[in-house]
Structure 1
Amino acid sequence: MKKIDLGLKASSDPEQIKDRLQYQPNVFEFYTAENDFTRDGLKHLAYGIDQVKDAGINHIVLHHPMRYREYFTELLTPEAKLPELYRFIEQSSLDLLQLAYDKNVQVLIHGSYSRQTAEFLSLYPDLEHAEEYVFKRLDHFKDLGKEHVMFENSISPVFYYGDEALDAKILARDYRLAFDTSHCFIKWQGDNTKLMTALARLKQNIVHYHLVDSLGKTHDSLELGKGKIVWKNVLPLLNEDATNIFEIVLKDQTDALEQVNSFNYLKTLEEKLDVNI
């Protein structure tokens, strides 16, 4: 069974980094935003990476920014129709991948988001064409990032986990995957069996987990144990070689309490399962 990491998430804000480092995590994920991609912003982010590395943390993930101005950074974005958004997605990804090679860290890119997906899908003849375009974009970043890039599942109609045919397409491309448990759970409307099936089927390609609880209805990002995911069934299905963080909504961004609570919940459960084996 996988040894659970104390994986914490923060921006490059010094107060957030200071807070996370006090817990001595072994995985650190940087949540990036539009302002990280100016010349000074990238220097600030690079400094933050060095600070985390100096604290002895070797597993670092850079999460591609979710938004650019009023838009989510959808890989569905067609260059011809939304050139400025397309250029930001491309350049910010290249910037993060350059940091990944320079610093020997990882980059996480979302295959899709959900809140504006319908708007972006309307730019394509049908879902099949949209899906084909997203796979081309993912192939592009896979070729660029190689062992430094991974792709995360959404709850949108594009690039989600748990559908047998779509999972087969993903595995055929041998993508390195980031698996968000809550996204899969919500996509299947709180179906634990679907979640477990997806975890098992994709296990060999998963390199990183976002361990998050949910009630299975909306994107609620709950502490572990406060939703409806059956964690005792999740634990045996996790890839032992993958890393993980706890991507929980925080009441205070300078206090990782809810993330740490989730780690402690899972460690207690892990110990109980070990005793019963």
Structure 2
Amino acid sequence: MMPSLGLKASTSLEQIDERLQYQPSVFEFYTDAHDMTKNGLAHLEEMVKYVQSAGVRQIVIHHPMAYDHHHNEVAVSALKDPAGYQFMMSSADALIELAIKLNVQVLIHGGYSDKEAVVNSFGDFKTARKVIFARLDYFQKMGGDHVMFENSISPAFDYGDEEIEETVMAHHYRLCYDISHGFIVLHGDNDKLVNSIARLAPQTVHYHLVDSMGQHHDSLQLGKGKIDWQRVMKVVNPKATNIYEIDLADQNDSREMRASHEYLTNLLSTQQIH
């Protein structure tokens, strides 16, 4: 698979215009709680249409990562945190509805919190996972081919965990595989990472291409970490889209994402991997 130039931005017109000048074939919107207000959703819709008018056909909207200074967690207790639960569900519903209307994709993160926080919400980990999958089933039924689920470094929803992988395969979910998250979960083991990516490739429709040292969430530019990209790119789904989800020094300058694309394209061209 030769990667696409996939770039990510907020709903800021300045960021969007900076990305569009490089003619990406994939565009992912990073959203926050402000984008989920009535005015925010109207602005998001206009920005999606704006990106589409620039000729970009592959567009993903990332479900907000936070609400009221907490993770926007699928495994939120409706009883212990009714406001957080209401935000999580209503924002997912609104984005899926918008995605169907505009023929784009919504990405929902399967989890963010550590095991202790998830257990505190539901009493035990097994119950928490049941709740997560029941909610993902609901989103899948509602969104169909317009919704995908991303892996985390949280044990609530981490690819590399065989139990999670077996469940997502059994539920026939459409997946986003964040390569760095898988690498961190597997403690920097490239052999296990390649096996996990290959196993889930048939259901993976989108990749977050990000490097890592494999110890913690570091979101490195490709070539700056320890992921074996030659091996990874041999087993990804060639029909899937991708973006480079790299930490930027300046949110209005996508240079680290573009440098990652240049690195990977040169690497694969040199090795003649297709």
TM-score (ref. length: structure 2): 0.98
Q: Distance in 2 between matches of 1:162 and 1:210?
A: 15
Preserved contact between residue 64 and residue 96 of structure 1 (Cα < 8 Å): yes
1:215 paired with 2:213, answer yes
Q: Distance in 2 between matches of 1:60 and 1:256?
A: 17
* Aligned residue in 2 for 1:168: 166
SS in 2 for 1:150: strand
Q: Distance in 1 between matches of 2:161 and 2:55?
A: 39
Q: Distance in 2 between matches of 1:269 and 1:203?
A: 21
SS in 1 for 2:122: coil
The one-letter amino acid of 1:126's match is D
* Aligned residue in 2 for 1:7: 6
1:244 paired with 2:242, answer yes
Q: Give the C-alpha shift of residue 117 in structure 1.
A: 4.9
* Aligned residue in 1 for 2:83: 84
Q: Could you list the per-position Cα deviations for residues 35-65 of structure 1 after superposition, in whole angstroms to 9, with x for gaps in the alignment?
A: 0011111111111101100000000000000
* Aligned residue in 2 for 1:40: 39
Preserved contact between residue 118 and residue 125 of structure 2 (Cα < 8 Å): no
SS in 2 for 1:25: coil
1:159-238 superposed matches below 5 A: 159-238=157-236
The one-letter amino acid of 2:42's match is K
1:132 paired with 2:153, answer no
SS in 2 for 1:9: strand
Q: Distance in 2 between matches of 1:166 and 1:255?
A: 36
Q: Give the C-alpha shift of residue 273 in structure 1.
A: 1.8
1:59 paired with 2:54, answer no
Preserved contact between residue 210 and residue 245 of structure 2 (Cα < 8 Å): yes
SS in 2 for 1:207: strand
Runs of 4+ residues over 3 Å off in structure 1: none
What 5-or-longer segments of structure 2 have no aligned partner?
none
Preserved contact between residue 118 and residue 156 of structure 2 (Cα < 8 Å): no
* Aligned residue in 1 for 2:95: 96
Q: Distance in 1 between matches of 2:224 and 2:70?
A: 31
Q: Distance in 2 between matches of 1:121 and 1:51?
A: 42
What 5-or-longer segments of structure 1 have no aligned partner?
none
1:253-264 superposed matches below 5 A: 253-264=251-262
Preserved contact between residue 76 and residue 121 of structure 1 (Cα < 8 Å): no
Per mean C-alpha deviation after superposition, the further-off stretch among 161-170 and 198-207 is 161-170
Distance 1:210 1:42, change over 3 A: same
SS in 2 for 1:156: coil
Q: Percent identity?
A: 49
The one-letter amino acid of 2:134's match is K
Number of residue pairs aligned between Structure 1 and Structure 2: 274
Q: Distance in 2 between matches of 1:77 and 1:158?
A: 11
